Amino acid sequence: MSALTESAAWRALAAHQRRMATASLRELFAADPGRAAAFTLEFGEVLLDYSKHLADAETLRLLVALAEQADVRGWIRRMYAGEPINETEGRAVLHVALRADAAVFPEGRDVMPLVRAARERMRRFVDDAHRGALTGATGERITDVVNLGIGGSDLGPRMATRALRRFRAPGAPRVHFVANIDPADLEAALEGLAPARTLFVVASKTFTTAETLDNAARARGWLESGLGGAAALGRHFAAVTANDAGASALGVAPERIFPMWDWVGGRYSLWSAVGLPVALSIGMERFEELLEGARAMDAHFHTAPPARNLPVLMALLEIWYVDFFDARSRVVLPYGEDLRDFPAYLQQLEMESNGKRVDRAGRPVDYATAPVVWGASGTPSQHSFHQMLHQGTEPVPADFIVFGDRRGGPAHAALVANALAQSAALMEGDRAGEPHRALPGNRPSSVIVLERLDPEALGQLIALYEHKVFVEGVVWNINSFDQWGVEMGKRVARTLLPRLLRGGDDAGLDASTRALLARLRGR
Amino acid sequence: MSALTESAAWRALAAHQRRMATASLRELFAADPGRAAAFTLEFGEVLLDYSKHLADAETLRLLVALAEQADVRGWIRRMYAGEPINETEGRAVLHVALRADAAVFPEGRDVMPLVRAARERMRRFVDDAHRGALTGATGERITDVVNLGIGGSDLGPRMATRALRRFRAPGAPRVHFVANIDPADLEAALEGLAPARTLFVVASKTFTTAETLDNAARARGWLESGLGGAAALGRHFAAVTANDAGASALGVAPERIFPMWDWVGGRYSLWSAVGLPVALSIGMERFEELLEGARAMDAHFHTAPPARNLPVLMALLEIWYVDFFDARSRVVLPYGEDLRDFPAYLQQLEMESNGKRVDRAGRPVDYATAPVVWGASGTPSQHSFHQMLHQGTEPVPADFIVFGDRRGGPAHAALVANALAQSAALMEGDRAGEPHRALPGNRPSSVIVLERLDPEALGQLIALYEHKVFVEGVVWNINSFDQWGVEMGKRVARTLLPRLLRGGDDAGLDASTRALLARLRGR
């Protein structure tokens, strides 16, 4: 048994769960006419209705006690203080600094001057692009930007650029995203693009990421074929990296190398120059509204008491299902096509942060951590996997995300009606009719209303989930900010690659991998 | 207890599982030098390596006994005989007829003449498009096709069109897909398209699907704005439907209305005229190669003994994990960007088919059915959620899909090396180093090698998963071919929509939905 599962707060929850295991959502509502209002929390542009969860006032009291026991407030303070809470890498965790407006980090490292300087350089670059001053080797204006990055250098900017499609600035280039080492990815993105008018943003903290560097080399080849090798190809590249020398070696001019820092993890880096593609699409003013939105949520997270703190509440409800109801996944359903990439973004944010099995002291945990996060945009999801949500054998807690914008008319109303209907049907079920038509109901979901899908509100939404992940990590006593689990795979891939290309020694490999290698080896 | 869980085959598996629960994949390999070969099965362009599963010869023997007990062979025969095995809807299940080359259906309904006639009409339409004879209201050639459909009328053709991107035929239009009722979806797809050169394919079996009809109306508005209301807008539409009258009402000419039939479910309809966008992209000859591939897998499925039958084996392994190891999800990882939409396609195929909780007699089941299916293309997935696959607390069985094409050189080798490395690392784990670096290993995965990503091989791969789903349904004793679970949500949405637009009576709604409606109602 771990200290956590033996703790008073945990044991109280386990005892309480035995009662709630048979609770009925309908009865919880019947017992408390004020439930819908009491179980709704609002901050800024975000409203969370968590009334359709298998929780009552006592559940919340016990969950908050768990948060207090885990010293969530202390950990928030330590993060803001710039302490090295990413212990396995000995690093601070300062993505909140990327959207801060004041130096608040003691420990002798006020990073705000760095942040502000980078933002100013982004602004000049973006403004140049929008007024047509960003030109390629032939002097033609840049009309298309292709972001070459993977993981955190891809998922965040990709999601936000699509989400803010309606805010594309006058004169803004079109922005495309390429992540996969498979050349088909770049090839498809370049269809219809003109080398003379295309700029590549190469985003990699180390500037050694195989996928990104391979794509940069291919991009260079494409430019050379189109423009000739003697052309000033450097004018078609910018870089976002902590490795200036690497970017220089690719021919990127120093003024086009934007910084990354070791106190920001990839999956938390959207707010830095990694967000350059977003800023190129919507302009720097709008990009700063995104930062402002996040900053507002930071302030709420920093100061609101746990029971009225959106990220804390969402984290506690996740822990309630994962650790006490044995839920193994959560489905995320944005009802708005422009937010369609949000589930993929959350997959990295949540599963890479909290998919861990040893605690901060290195002991294996005896409780479940990050569940599988999956989802797709509604309404298409309804015509795909909702069958299983309603009538499958496994209840899956759901996050419905809808937009409050009332100017959308019937089309917007249709989205909202569908989202609310799905959430209601999951809870209410359907006892009528033949057995194959019946829905068991009593399946939990949150409804998150985002007042509008604009930069400020999106910033709040993303920061909400970032902090939720942080709180979960604190309670689970794991380090949410490393990702050691991906290292061994990289190492093995490095040893397999030459064997695939040139054959050779297969010693030390398992028999399955040996057989597959023999089968797949270039002949 | 159900008949299934009380059955001899099930109880034998449960007893066997208690031994296998502590089995080590490494030790299974060590104990049997021939394991990699013995646990590999090949048919056509598909190789399945299932050696890295927590199964030995006895496991397989017991699983096959379960399939025999469930009369999988009898059910296959009944499907092929055209019996109404979709009992809750009283329908036959004849998607295999869509790719058949001979009338093999007794019961007095040889559907092949219908199928062949539809295929010939598709051929003429596609050939016209490719030779420039398909023109719009102004006489300009159609260069872009937008498919308006959702669920089965979207996910299959979308996935296959992207997968076969390299096979785009000379003269073929570009094909786009729009599913969501959110106007942002259509809006984004139409960016840069010219009304005079754009054709819409409206795909809906009933021609009453709200999303698709709304998008068709919007498309009509877009065409009218661009071409004038008096133009012959019917030249910009085709339809795929079982409701000819509905399509005619939209102004679609009879010769452009392609059929759907009640003996093919939406998620199994790619092979019918629902595949029109695929055929428009790759040409009818290539589309028929897709059918031929599926037909080859059909023959294998129909005739191979269970222990050497690819779909049967994959189904049994899924059942093994879901029902005996309590796995709740499976991750699908295609290592090839062109197959990136395959996980989303499988989500519908698997979860809509088998996300059921009552058996064929209407009794609630006491075992788990369809797990959550999720995934994304590798290598980007490695930089997102693989952390959780390697070091999370929840083991997730994985399907790695790689391509055997050896002409791809280093780029292809990099994809293969990464896929094999991930599969190997999941199994081998890593005991060295500090605890936070260690991987527990012993996590199962399949490696599926598809010899090439071409129409024929893709047809085999899709049919493989279709039949896998069927076998699971047979063993679980559920009807894989209805989807009643989505009906209530539709009903509730229909009652909420007018209340959102016009306010009014909220009686009968739960308090949460009432509060959200009040909040979100148009002011």
Name the percent of chain A lying above pLDDT 70: 98
User: What's the token pair of residue B215?
Assistant: 């998008």
Cβ distance of B383 and A512 shorter than 8 Å:
no
A22 C-beta neighbours (distance < 10 Å), count: 9
Residue B212 pLDDT: 97
Closest chain A C-alpha to B494 CA, distance in angstroms: 8
Sheet holding A46-49, edge to edge: A40-43, A46-49, A445-450, A398-403, A329-334, A372-375
Please list, in sequence order, all residues whose beta carbon lies within 8 angstroms of the beta carbon of residue A180, skipping any fewer than 6 positions away. A150, A211, B337, B377, B378, B379, B380
Residue A503 pLDDT: 78
Residue B107 pLDDT: 60
- The DSSP bridge partners found for residue B399 are B332, B446
Residue B108 pLDDT: 66
Structural element, H or E, at residue B46: strand B46-49
Structural element, H or E, at residue B362: none
Q: List residues of A with catalytic annotation.
A: 352, 383, 490
Residue A406 pLDDT: 67
Name the percent of chain B lying above pLDDT 90: 86
CB B53 within 8 A of CB B24: no
Residue B104 pLDDT: 62
Instruction: Considering only the beta carbons, identify the residue of A36, A371, A389 that sits closest to B512.
Output: A36
State how far the alpha carbon of B196 is from the alpha carbons of A347, B143, B221, B459, in Å: 41, 9, 13, 34
Handedness of CA A343, A344, A347, A352 (dihedral sign): negative
Dist CA A395 CA B250 (whole Å): 41
Mean pLDDT, range A186-203, rounded to an integer: 97
Q: Is the pLDDT at B106 greater than 80, yes or no?
A: no
- The DSSP bridge partners found for residue B372 are B329
Q: Best interface-test mutation with A: which of B486, B501, B502 has the largest number of A CBs within 10 A?
A: B486
Q: Is the pLDDT at B139 greater than 80, yes or no?
A: yes
Cβ distance of B519 and A347 shorter than 8 Å:
no
Q: Best interface-test mutation with A: which of B341, B367, B520, B521 has the largest number of A CBs within 10 A?
A: B520
Dist CA B501 CA B464 (whole Å): 46
Cβ distance of A510 and B211 shorter than 8 Å:
no
Q: Is the pLDDT at A523 greater than 70, yes or no?
A: no
Lowest mean pLDDT among A480-494, B254-268, B388-402, B460-474: A480-494
Closest chain A C-alpha to B102 CA, distance in angstroms: 32
| pLDDT tens-place string over residues A74-110 | 999 999 888 889 999 989 898 999 999 876 665 667 8
Chain B positions in Cβ-Cβ contact with residue A51 (cut-off 8 Å): 511-512
Nearest CA in chain A to B210: A414
Chain A positions in Cβ-Cβ contact with residue B506 (cut-off 8 Å): none
Residue B507 pLDDT: 81
Q: Best interface-test mutation with B: which of A91, A337, A494 has the largest number of B CBs within 10 A?
A: A337
**Is residue A433 left, alpha or beta, with left meaning phi > 0 and alpha meaning psi from -120 to 50?**
left
Mean pLDDT, range B261-271, rounded to an integer: 94
Chain B positions in Cβ-Cβ contact with residue A420 (cut-off 8 Å): 492-493, 496, 513, 516-517, 520
Which is catalytic among the residues B27, B68, B87, B490?
B490
| pLDDT tens-place string over residues A260-278 | 998 999 999 999 999 999 9
Cβ distance of A404 and B519 shorter than 8 Å:
yes
Query: How large is the angle between the packed helices B455-476 and B155-163, nearest 10 degrees?
Result: 140
Mean pLDDT, range A401-412, rounded to an integer: 83
| pLDDT tens-place string over residues A35-84 | 999 999 999 999 999 999 999 999 999 999 999 999 999 999 999 888 88
Nearest CA in chain B to A445: B512
Instruction: Considering only the beta carbons, identify the residue of B181, B348, B484 that sits closest to A379.
Output: B181
- The DSSP bridge partners found for residue B201 are B147, B238
Helix (H, G, I), strand (E, B) or coil at B400: strand
Chain B positions in Cβ-Cβ contact with residue A385 (cut-off 8 Å): 347-348, 351-352, 355, 373
Cβ distance of B439 and A88 shorter than 8 Å:
no
Q: How confident is the model at residue B231 (pLDDT cuts 50, 70, 90)?
A: confident
Instruction: Considering only the beta carbons, identify the residue of B385, B421, B484 that sits closest to A352.
Output: B385
Chain A positions in Cβ-Cβ contact with residue B378 (cut-off 8 Å): 180
- Widest Cα–Cα separation across chain A: 77
Nearest CA in chain B to A156: B384
Chain A positions in Cβ-Cβ contact with residue B152 (cut-off 8 Å): 383
User: What's the token pair of residue A70?
Assistant: 């885990």
Dist CA B123 CA B276 (whole Å): 9
Residue B523 pLDDT: 47
Residue by residue, DSSP assigns B86-155 as BGGGTB---GGGGG-SS----TT---HHHHHHHHHHHHHHHHHHHTT--B-TTSPBP-EEEEE--GGGTH
Nearest CA in chain B to A402: B520
Chain A positions in Cβ-Cβ contact with residue B37 (cut-off 8 Å): 515
Q: Best interface-test mutation with B: which of A86, A181, A323 has the largest number of B CBs within 10 A?
A: A181
Dist CA A193 CA A196 (whole Å): 9
CA angle B472, B475, B480 (to 5 degrees): 50
Residue A522 pLDDT: 62
Cβ distance of B449 and A516 shorter than 8 Å:
yes
Q: Establish how many alpha carbons lie within 13 A of residue A229's alpha carbon, considering only the half-sphere containing its beta carbon.
A: 1
Residue in A1, A8, A6, A14 with CA at minimum distance from that of residue A326: A14
Please list, in sequence order, all residues whose beta carbon lies within 8 angstroms of the beta carbon of residue B221, skipping any fewer than 6 positions away. none
CB B384 within 8 A of CB A155: yes
**Is residue A522 left, alpha or beta, with left meaning phi > 0 and alpha meaning psi from -120 to 50?**
beta
User: What's the token pair of residue B473?
Assistant: 């349904």
CB A165 within 8 A of CB A202: no
Closest chain B C-alpha to A381 CA, distance in angstroms: 8
Q: How confident is the model at residue A407 (pLDDT cuts 50, 70, 90)?
A: low
Helix (H, G, I), strand (E, B) or coil at A113: helix
Cβ distance of B380 and A211 shorter than 8 Å:
yes
Residue A411 pLDDT: 85
Chain A positions in Cβ-Cβ contact with residue B430 (cut-off 8 Å): 488
Helix (H, G, I), strand (E, B) or coil at A42: strand
Residue A431 pLDDT: 85
Name the percent of chain A lying above pLDDT 90: 86
Q: How many CB pairs under 8 A join A and B?
A: 446
Which is catalytic among the residues B352, B456, B466, B472?
B352
How much is the mean pLDDT over chain B? Answer: 94
Dist CA A240 CA A234 (whole Å): 14
CB A283 within 8 A of CB A126: yes
B383 carries an active-site annotation: yes
Mean pLDDT, range B494-501, rounded to an integer: 87
Chain B positions in Cβ-Cβ contact with residue A393 (cut-off 8 Å): 357, 365, 367-370
B168 C-beta neighbours (distance < 10 Å), count: 17
A197 C-beta neighbours (distance < 10 Å), count: 16
Cβ distance of B436 and A406 shorter than 8 Å:
no
State how far the alpha carbon of B398 is from the alpha carbons of A115, A127, A442, B174, B250, in Å: 41, 46, 30, 33, 45
CA angle A363, A364, A366 (to 5 degrees): 125
Q: Best interface-test mutation with B: which of A318, A357, A405 has the largest number of B CBs within 10 A?
A: A357
Mean pLDDT, range A26-42, rounded to an integer: 97
Chain B positions in Cβ-Cβ contact with residue A55 (cut-off 8 Å): none
Higher pLDDT, B209 or B407: B209
Residue in A473, A487, A509, A485 with CA at minimum distance from that of residue A75: A473
- The DSSP bridge partners found for residue B259 are B241
Instruction: Considering only the beta carbons, identify the residue of A33, A150, A512 that sits closest to B49.
Output: A512
How much is the mean pLDDT over chain A? Answer: 94
Chain A positions in Cβ-Cβ contact with residue B372 (cut-off 8 Å): 328-329, 331, 372, 374, 388, 394, 396
Cβ distance of B421 and A490 shorter than 8 Å:
yes
Nearest CA in chain A to B338: A184
Residue in B499, B519, B474, B491 with CA at minimum distance from that of residue B93: B474
Please list, in sequence order, all residues whose beta carbon lies within 8 angstroms of the beta carbon of residue B418, skipping any fewer than 6 positions away. A181, A489, A493, B335, B378, B379, B382
Q: Determine whether B455 is exposed, middle or buried from the number of CB atoms within 10 Å of its CB (0-12, 13-18, 19+).
A: buried
Chain A positions in Cβ-Cβ contact with residue B416 (cut-off 8 Å): 496, 500, 520
Dist CA B385 CA B388 (whole Å): 6
Dist CA B150 CA B155 (whole Å): 7
Closest chain A C-alpha to B368 CA, distance in angstroms: 6
Residue in B354, B394, B396, B399 with CA at minimum distance from that of residue B378: B399
User: What's the token pair of residue B74?
Assistant: 């009898």
Dist CA B277 CA B478 (whole Å): 32
Pairing of strands B40-43, B46-49: antiparallel
Cβ distance of B351 and A384 shorter than 8 Å:
yes
Nearest CA in chain A to B452: A520
Cβ distance of B520 and A352 shorter than 8 Å:
no
Measure the N-to-C terminal CA separation of chain A; round to a whole number of Å: 54
Q: Best interface-test mutation with B: which of A40, A206, A208, A418 has the largest number of B CBs within 10 A?
A: A418
Nearest CA in chain B to A388: B355
Mean pLDDT, range B430-445, rounded to an integer: 91
Pairing of strands B198-203, B144-148: parallel
| pLDDT tens-place string over residues A432-472 | 789 999 999 999 999 999 999 999 999 999 999 999 999 99
